[in-house]
């Protein structure tokens, strides 16, 4: 119920703006874990827990208008909360004079059970509030708080009376408070083991619980209250009240969970969830506002519905189960409630649970948690080795039946139907057990035996697979408990540990061969005018019945005009080299096209060699030869111009060319020399290939 009221802040600071700034600066960046949640109790027993609680605060009696508004808010007919009211003490337990406050609750222990454990939790505001750098006496910024003038929140001993018996001051344990440097309202919590107060208590009927002297301040937004978690048990299964064994856990801690804080998660493990009976949890928290949503309780990421009808987005709304006097639906102080955990959050076979406090709106203070999960007396598990087996191989199955209780388990019966296995294999007739007796009545394997407390019965047998397989290729079979209650493998179970299906390894098919690639690099012409652009085509051909994957070739970028294109695959450029990579499908080809600008020097040769970068091509780096299909060669033509005949009446239409004729020996021999040079370059280019 930490709602900041700017109007209240204005009365506390120089200006409302300055105060608001200080409060904003004081909000912690993460949940304030004053004391991490820790296990107070754990036992596997035939029984369960009960959680109850109540507030020690009430609405003001004056002025009449405030009293009426406050009662309306508690009844749920208005959206106000305790920040608007000067909360006062309630005193309904009849402890007598000198008691600060009191309230009552009630609990019913099932008939014939005994109380195995009882823990009292209490807490509330500690009467201080950090506003900016100032420590002020407030529960909320809306108004002043008045604290008791006694020993303080961490030392005051509550008074408890069980079933009308003697009043007892409890021993204070695990008392902590919010550190002074934390911004906003401060809280305290404390605990006490009060199991001894339930010795010889009446069972089967309601037991009144009275709690008083809970340290708490009075004033606007002040909270205070208590909760009690009682664990009961039977010595053996009870068909009505404890038909199955349960692991029961009780945790305590102190976390200030604010709207911008990350989740707080408590991990519980070392159990084995079995059967279809409910998983249960209870929580105790202070400050939950019924009119502020965004607060959630989750189990394994599944949001748990508020048992009071608040949905899954307002779990903490100040409601306490088992409250007797007062008994308000919204007590303005404390949540102490039990909830059913859906099977989707904790399915059969689960061995751990994450219980999470989350808020995106309300601020609250979790301080206690109880958890109860059904577990088997006889924990059954089936496995097989090897996990993967080839046709003709042998599979050895192992079934273990562990008695996790402290009582012997007589007359356990297990059966294993091999019908779905024997279509693909043969039972080897080798079943054996270290406890009890195992028999085979085709196709069913049966085991009977007594499992001593804490011991494990182990049954093994083997099956040899046919080669080739003769059935459906599945080795599916499950073990089932027959006339054997309180196991995880009763009929209809979905527990994955009751079966195991080895994987049959199919023969590995031969690896397909690597198809050869035939590469051809061919220009559209082998001669071209100076500076002309010629189209060059590179073809990768796969004539095999298998695709050629991860193929790659490269060639120089010199002379390329633009970026080459390919009918498939990818072309990249790295420095002075183009590289194509991709797959050439079976009986198909990939065509790469590029434009190349030839030399502007008459007689010069443009050479484009292609190199295969993977094995199995005809263009390896060692390929050489004048007829190399991997190399494109383009010779620049030498063009010999002739003079334009003179025309008397027209202007020249082109450039004036050099005169040639038979009377110039120098020109004749010079032209011959140039032609011979070009021919030599062509021959040299053909030889400039790759070594064989």
> Which of the four pLDDT bands, split at 50, 70 and 90, describes residue 677?
very low
- Which pLDDT value is given to residue 28? 39
pLDDT at 590 > cutoff 80: yes
- Which pLDDT value is given to residue 21? 34
Q: What is the pLDDT of residues 479-491, one digit of tens each?
A: 999 988 888 898 8
pTM above 0.75, yes or no: no
Looking at 447-461, 495-509, 543-557, which range is the least confident one? 495-509
> Whole-angstrom Cα distance, residue 494 to residue 68?
54
Mean pLDDT along residues 449-458: 95
- Which pLDDT value is given to residue 627? 63
> Whole-angstrom Cα distance, residue 157 to residue 165?
18
Q: What is the number of residues in the chain?
A: 692
Whether cis (ω within 30° of 0) applies to the bond prior to 85 is: no
Closest to 512 measured CA to CA, from 549, 561, 474, 458: 549
Q: Which residue has the tokens 């054996």?
A: 432
> Which of the four pLDDT bands, split at 50, 70 and 90, describes residue 170?
very high
The secondary structure of 402-439 as a DSSP string is: EE-SSS-EEEEEEEEE-TTTTTSEEE-S--EESSSEEE
Q: What is the pLDDT of residues 70-99, one digit of tens each?
A: 999 999 899 899 999 999 999 999 998 899
- Which pLDDT value is given to residue 270? 84
Mean pLDDT along residues 658-670: 37
Percent helix, strand and coil across the chain, each rounded to 5?
10, 45, 45
Closest to 57 measured CA to CA, from 279, 220, 270: 220
- Which pLDDT value is given to residue 10? 38
- Which pLDDT value is given to residue 511? 82
- Which pLDDT value is given to residue 491? 87
> Which of the four pLDDT bands, split at 50, 70 and 90, describes residue 641?
low
pLDDT at 626 > cutoff 70: no
pLDDT at 176 > cutoff 50: yes
Dig out the tokens for 89 from the structure. 């003490």
> Which of the four pLDDT bands, split at 50, 70 and 90, describes residue 19?
very low
CA 394 to centroid of chain Cα atoms = 38
Mean pLDDT along residues 339-363: 91
Mean pLDDT along residues 440-459: 96
> Which of the four pLDDT bands, split at 50, 70 and 90, describes residue 623?
low
Say what percent of the chain tops pLDDT 70: 87
- Which pLDDT value is given to residue 362? 83
- Which pLDDT value is given to residue 13? 38
pLDDT at 382 > cutoff 90: yes
Looking at 34-43, 475-484, 584-593, which range is the least confident one? 475-484
Question: Given 1.10.8, 3.30.70, 3.40.50, 2.60.40, which CATH number is that of 404-504?
Answer: 2.60.40
Domain ranges of the chain: 6-375, 404-504, 518-642+680-687
pLDDT at 165 > cutoff 70: yes
- Which pLDDT value is given to residue 26? 34
Q: What is the 3-state secondary structure (H, E, C) of 169-227?
A: ECCCEEEEECCCCCCEEEEEEEEEECHHHHCCCCCCCEEEEEEECCCCCEEECCCEEEE
Helix (H, G, I), strand (E, B) or coil at 157: coil
Task: List the CATH code of the domain at 518-642+680-687.
Answer: 2.60.40.1170
Closest to 449 measured CA to CA, from 434, 431, 429: 434
Mean pLDDT along residues 286-291: 91
pLDDT at 53 > cutoff 60: yes
> Whole-angstrom Cα distance, residue 499 to residue 480?
9
Looking at 122-136, 334-348, 678-692, which range is the least confident one? 678-692
> Whole-angstrom Cα distance, residue 606 to residue 636?
8
User: CA torsion, points 565, 571, 576, 577, in degrees to nearest 10?
Assistant: -110
pLDDT at 348 > cutoff 70: yes
pLDDT at 681 > cutoff 60: no
Q: Mean of the per-residue pLDDT values for the chain?
A: 87
Measured in degrees and rounded to the nearest 5, phi and psi for residue 83 equal -65, -20
Q: What is the pLDDT of residues 499-536, one digit of tens each?
A: 999 999 877 777 888 999 999 999 999 999 999 999 99
pLDDT at 449 > cutoff 50: yes
What residues contact 450, with CB distance under 8 A and at least 6 apart? 408, 409, 410, 411, 412, 435, 436
Tell me if 404-504 shares its fold with 518-642+680-687: yes
Mean pLDDT along residues 183-195: 97
Phi-psi region of 364 (alpha: psi -120 to 50; beta: other; left: phi over 0): beta
More confident position, 407 or 634: 634
- Which pLDDT value is given to residue 611? 94
> Which of the four pLDDT bands, split at 50, 70 and 90, describes residue 642?
low
Looking at 75-79, 175-179, 444-448, 636-640, which range is the least confident one? 636-640
Mean pLDDT along residues 623-630: 66
Say what percent of the chain tops pLDDT 90: 73
- Which pLDDT value is given to residue 655? 40
Q: Distances from the Cα of 479 to the Cαs of 55, 125, 460, 602, in angstroms?
A: 51, 56, 12, 90
- Which pLDDT value is given to residue 557? 94
Q: What is the pLDDT of residues 403-427, one digit of tens each?
A: 987 778 899 999 999 999 999 999 9
Mean pLDDT along residues 448-456: 95
- Which pLDDT value is given to residue 659? 35
> Whole-angstrom Cα distance, residue 623 to residue 605?
20
């Amino acid at each position: 119920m930490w709602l900041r009221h700017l109007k209240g802040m204005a009365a506390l600071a120089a200006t409302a703006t300055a105060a608001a700034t200080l409060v904003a600066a004081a909000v912690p960046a993460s949940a304030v874990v004053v004391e991490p949640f820790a296990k107070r109790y754990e036992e596997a027993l035939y029984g369960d827990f009960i959680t109850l609680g109540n507030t020690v605060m009430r609405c003001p009696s004056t002025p009449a208008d405030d009293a009426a508004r406050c009662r309306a808010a508690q009844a749920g007919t208005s959206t106000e909360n305790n920040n608007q009211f000067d909360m006062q003490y309630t005193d309904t337990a009849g402890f007598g004079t000198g008691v600060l406050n009191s309230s009552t609750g009630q609990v019913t222990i099932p008939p014939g059970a005994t109380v195995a454990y009882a823990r009292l939790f209490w807490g509330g505001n500690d009467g201080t509030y950090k506003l900016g750098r100032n420590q002020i006496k407030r529960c909320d910024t809306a108004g002043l708080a008045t604290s008791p003038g006694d020993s303080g929140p961490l030392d005051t001993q509550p008074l408890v009376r069980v079933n009308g018996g003697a009043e007892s001051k409890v021993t204070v344990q695990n008392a902590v408070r919010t550190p002074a440097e934390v911004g906003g309202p401060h809280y305290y919590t404390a605990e006490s083991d009060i199991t001894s107060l339930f010795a010889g208590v009446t069972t089967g009927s309601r037991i009144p619980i009275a709690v008083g002297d809970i340290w708490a301040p009075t004033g606007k937004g002040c909270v205070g209250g208590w909760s009690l978690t009682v664990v009961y048990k039977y010595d053996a299964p009870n068909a009505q009240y404890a038909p199955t064994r349960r692991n029961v856990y009780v945790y305590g801690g102190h976390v200030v969970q604010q709207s911008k804080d990350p989740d707080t998660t408590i991990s519980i493990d070392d159990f084995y969830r079995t059967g279809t009976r409910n998983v249960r949890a209870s929580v105790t928290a202070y400050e939950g506002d019924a009119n502020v949503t965004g607060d959630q309780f989750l189990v394994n990421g599944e949001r748990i519905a508020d048992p009071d009808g608040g949905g899954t987005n307002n779990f903490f709304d100040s409601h306490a189960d088992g409250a007797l006097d007062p008994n308000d639906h919204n007590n303005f102080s404390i949540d102490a409630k039990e909830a059913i955990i859906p099977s989707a959050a904790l399915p059969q076979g689960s061995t751990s649970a994450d219980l999470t406090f989350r808020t995106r709106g309300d601020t609250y203070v979790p301080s206690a948690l109880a958890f109860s999960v059904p577990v088997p007396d006889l924990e059954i598990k089936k496995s097989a080795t090897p996990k993967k087996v080839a046709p003709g191989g042998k599979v050895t199955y192992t079934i273990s039946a562990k008695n996790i209780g402290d009582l012997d388990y007589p007359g356990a019966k297990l059966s294993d139907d091999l019908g779905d296995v024997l279509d693909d294999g043969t039972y080897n007739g080798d079943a054996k057990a270290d406890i009890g007796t195992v028999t085979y009545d085709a196709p069913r394997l049966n085991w009977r035996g007594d499992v001593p407390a804490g011991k494990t019965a182990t049954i093994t047998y083997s099956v040899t697979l046919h080669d080739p397989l003769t059935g459906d290729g599945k080795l599916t079979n499950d073990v089932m408990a027959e006339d054997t209650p309180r196991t995880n493998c009763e009929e209809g179970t979905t527990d994955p540990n009751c079966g195991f299906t080895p994987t049959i390894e199919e023969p590995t098919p031969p690896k397909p061969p690597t198809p050869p690639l035939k590469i051809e690099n061919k220009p559209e012409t082998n001669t071209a005018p100076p500076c002309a652009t010629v189209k060059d085509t590179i073809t990768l051909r796969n004539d095999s019945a298998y695709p050629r994957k991860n193929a790659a070739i490269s060639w120089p970028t010199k002379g390329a005009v633009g970026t080459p294109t390919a009918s498939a695959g990818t072309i990249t450029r790295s420095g002075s080299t183009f590289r194509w990579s991709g797959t050439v499908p079976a009986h198909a080809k990939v065509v790469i096209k590029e434009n190349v600008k030839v030399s502007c020097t008459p007689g010069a040769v443009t050479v484009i060699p292609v190199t295969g970068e993977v094995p199995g091509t005809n263009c390896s780096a060692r390929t050489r030869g004048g007829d190399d299909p991997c190399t494109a060669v383009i010779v620049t033509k030498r063009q010999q111009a002739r003079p334009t005949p003179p025309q008397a009446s027209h202007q020249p239409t082109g450039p004036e060319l050099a005169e040639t004729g038979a009377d110039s020996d120098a020109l004749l021999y010079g032209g011959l020399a140039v032609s011979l040079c070009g021919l030599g370059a062509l021959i040299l280019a053909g030889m400039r290939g790759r070594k064989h």
